[in-house]
A and B are shown apart, each in its own frame.
Chain A
């Protein structure tokens, strides 16, 4: 399945706020570690290499 590039989260503002909350009170280093864990967790959830490669390319080129 190709990467979803259209909005796909029902409550984007709510998710964004939740993401920031997860980082609250963390040092820069701790935040970076949390983001890394999050990437790994979400990547596993996506699972499909094709979509993941596209995501990597999109992140890298923006």
Chain B
């Protein structure tokens, strides 16, 4: 897995001359930090990106990337590649024992550029991001640059950085802490990371084999091949399968990783011994978050700000959505086009999202690992009822898969459809010459059956009132004008053509001008 060549570490300028002051420094070149640098560059904002390592992540981490993540990656030119390389899926089947009790379809309608989900290992995604970042002149990516200390004042933050060539200092107006679940910056700043630990251990194994599995997610409660526990199986590209097995809290994490124990367990799942172990690890899972994500000039983004258990794939996908909501705001702040308070709006939106992600991930994990007593009794009886009574099936919770939350927003025009209300991601739809999502790259006024005004700094898209676009944006109305933010979220909408001043006022409010 860690087959990749190390990325080159270069001598940082700060060793030979005073390091120039950077508008934005990003610590951590995981998926979140890498995307943050590319997203800022998209809005013309340069950044320096420091990572202590010189390789993509090792082993079994994220594999499931949501439609929303693909749309976000598409804006930096990587969505189509991910969709092409990954295994596309949208159906999940949940079994109890050997019979199916529940099934979901994550994208039951057509007319979207991106599929519901693709499975693609995190190291592949990171490799694509690194390649893109290395080619982007506005991103200064520095491997083997370990941040050892941080201090901040009213105008920015200063980092002490250690490299193979020696230590140096680097100052920036804004610091993005994208340094992962164990965030050294969070620790150095003494911030609490509160939440819940699930007293359960899971074996995560990636295996290579010839196997005939449909492109679906399969989850089992108490399967005969792994009695009393749960199991999850996902397909990855190139004949690799991801298997998660619940082990119980008393399992010995070191022993459970050894091939002598892992191989017989996997053999029971797949029914033969004709496979190769690619990677195994034993995890316990947490749901935790910082009380707030903005601390002055330091912004916590991704796993450093919040972690969830992986059932629902809300960790990496949630982190990419943090970036989605941040890039345009921070770039505008740096350019002097937005007030610093716009970053408090970002904080509020992403806290709302983190709560939703944590609630969903905790509920799923508790359903899988019920505490003794009432929790266990109800879990078991829901599963028992599900076989006979359809009403119990949607209560069976093997993970509610990542979907973008609706940000709290004012002014929902009641007559227009809920799916495209302010605060929601503007739903994709086919246009005569491509996809709507491809046209939403900056502030955009979308007119459907109406002519949007010419507003300062806003692109205009007009489309006929027909097909999926009309269904998703008009409902019963004859016309609408939608103001879409640079992250593709609906900012405001009207069932008439607004004046340019009205549209500009909505944007300026979001930018705290």
Contact B382 A40 (CB under 8 A): yes
**A11-62 with Cβ < 8 A to chain B:** 32-33, 36-37, 40-41, 44
Please name all residues of chain A whose beta carbon is closer than 8 Å to the beta carbon of B335 when the two chains form the complex: none
Please name all residues of chain B whose beta carbon is closer than 8 Å to the beta carbon of A33 when the two chains form the complex: 377, 380-381, 384
- Interface range for A: under 10
Please name all residues of chain B whose beta carbon is closer than 8 Å to the beta carbon of A36 when the two chains form the complex: 374, 377-378, 381
Please name all residues of chain B whose beta carbon is closer than 8 Å to the beta carbon of A44 when the two chains form the complex: 389, 391-392
Please name all residues of chain A whose beta carbon is closer than 8 Å to the beta carbon of B391 when the two chains form the complex: 40-41, 44
Q: Which residue of A lies closest to B374 (CB)?
A: A36
Contact B389 A41 (CB under 8 A): yes
Q: How far is the CA of A58 from the CA of B362 in the complex (A)?
A: 27
**B341-395 with Cβ < 8 A to chain A:** 374, 377-378, 380-382, 384-385, 389, 391-392, 395
**Total contacts A-B at CB 8 Å:** 25
Q: Which residue of A lies closest to B381 (CB)?
A: A36
Q: How far is the CA of A37 from the CA of B391 in the complex (A)?
A: 12
Please name all residues of chain A whose beta carbon is closer than 8 Å to the beta carbon of B395 when the two chains form the complex: 40
Q: How far is the CA of A17 from the CA of B381 in the complex (A)?
A: 23
Q: Nearest Cβ in chain B — how far from A55, in angstroms?
A: 15
Q: How far is the CA of A33 from the CA of B383 in the complex (A)?
A: 12
Q: How far is the CA of A44 from the CA of B394 in the complex (A)?
A: 11
Contact B385 A32 (CB under 8 A): no
Tell me how many residues of B have a C-beta within 8 Å of chain A: 12
Q: How far is the CA of A40 from the CA of B378 in the complex (A)?
A: 9
Q: Nearest Cβ in chain B — how far from A52, in angstroms?
A: 13
Q: Nearest Cβ in chain B — how far from A40, in angstroms?
A: 6
Q: How far is the CA of A37 from the CA of B381 in the complex (A)?
A: 6
Please name all residues of chain A whose beta carbon is closer than 8 Å to the beta carbon of B374 when the two chains form the complex: 36
Please name all residues of chain B whose beta carbon is closer than 8 Å to the beta carbon of A32 when the two chains form the complex: 377
Q: Which residue of B lies closest to A37 (CB)?
A: B381
Q: How far is the CA of A36 from the CA of B377 in the complex (A)?
A: 7
Please name all residues of chain A whose beta carbon is closer than 8 Å to the beta carbon of B380 when the two chains form the complex: 33
Q: How far is the CA of A41 from the CA of B386 in the complex (A)?
A: 11
Q: How far is the CA of A15 from the CA of B510 in the complex (A)?
A: 60
Instruction: Identify the interface centre among A32, A33, A40, A44: most chain B CB within 10 Å of its CB.
Output: A40
Q: How far is the CA of A60 from the CA of B408 in the complex (A)?
A: 33
Q: Which residue of A lies closest to B389 (CB)?
A: A41
Q: Which residue of A lies closest to B390 (CB)?
A: A44
Q: How far is the CA of A36 from the CA of B389 in the complex (A)?
A: 14
Q: How far is the CA of A33 from the CA of B374 in the complex (A)?
A: 9
Contact B377 A40 (CB under 8 A): no
Q: Nearest Cβ in chain A — how far from B192, in angstroms?
A: 31
Please name all residues of chain A whose beta carbon is closer than 8 Å to the beta carbon of B384 when the two chains form the complex: 33, 37
Please name all residues of chain A whose beta carbon is closer than 8 Å to the beta carbon of B378 when the two chains form the complex: 36, 40
Q: How far is the CA of A33 from the CA of B384 in the complex (A)?
A: 10
Q: Nearest Cβ in chain B — how far from A41, in angstroms?
A: 7
Q: How far is the CA of A32 from the CA of B381 in the complex (A)?
A: 10
Please name all residues of chain A whose beta carbon is closer than 8 Å to the beta carbon of B382 when the two chains form the complex: 40
Q: How far is the CA of A30 from the CA of B139 in the complex (A)?
A: 63
Q: Nearest Cβ in chain B — how far from A3, in angstroms?
A: 20
Please name all residues of chain B whose beta carbon is closer than 8 Å to the beta carbon of A37 when the two chains form the complex: 381, 384-385
Q: Nearest Cβ in chain A — how far from B373, in angstroms?
A: 10
Q: Nearest Cβ in chain B — how far from A44, in angstroms?
A: 4
Q: Nearest Cβ in chain B — how far from A57, in angstroms?
A: 17
Q: How far is the CA of A44 from the CA of B391 in the complex (A)?
A: 7
**B377-421 with Cβ < 8 A to chain A:** 377-378, 380-382, 384-385, 389, 391-392, 395
Contact B377 A41 (CB under 8 A): no
Q: Nearest Cβ in chain A — how far from B388, in angstroms?
A: 10
Q: Which residue of B lies closest to A32 (CB)?
A: B377
Q: How far is the CA of A37 from the CA of B382 in the complex (A)?
A: 7
Please name all residues of chain A whose beta carbon is closer than 8 Å to the beta carbon of B392 when the two chains form the complex: 40, 44
Please name all residues of chain B whose beta carbon is closer than 8 Å to the beta carbon of A41 when the two chains form the complex: 385, 389, 391
Mask for B42-82, Cβ within 8 A of A = 1, else 0? 00000000000000000000000000000000000000000
Q: Which residue of B lies closest to A39 (CB)?
A: B378
Q: Nearest Cβ in chain B — how far from A7, in angstroms?
A: 27
Q: How far is the CA of A40 from the CA of B392 in the complex (A)?
A: 8
Q: Which residue of A lies closest to B373 (CB)?
A: A32
Please name all residues of chain A whose beta carbon is closer than 8 Å to the beta carbon of B381 when the two chains form the complex: 33, 36-37, 40
> Sorted from nearest, which 6 A-B pairs have the closest CB atoms?
A44-B391, A36-B381, A37-B381, A36-B377, A36-B378, A33-B381
Q: Could you name 15 residue pairs across A and B whose Cβ atoms are closer than 8 Å?
A: A32-B377, A33-B381, A33-B384, A36-B377, A36-B378, A37-B381, A37-B384, A37-B385, A40-B381, A40-B382, A40-B385, A40-B391, A41-B389, A41-B391, A44-B392
Q: 6 new A-B pairs (CB below 8 Å) besides A33-B381, A41-B385? A: A33-B377, A36-B378, A37-B381, A40-B378, A40-B381, A44-B391
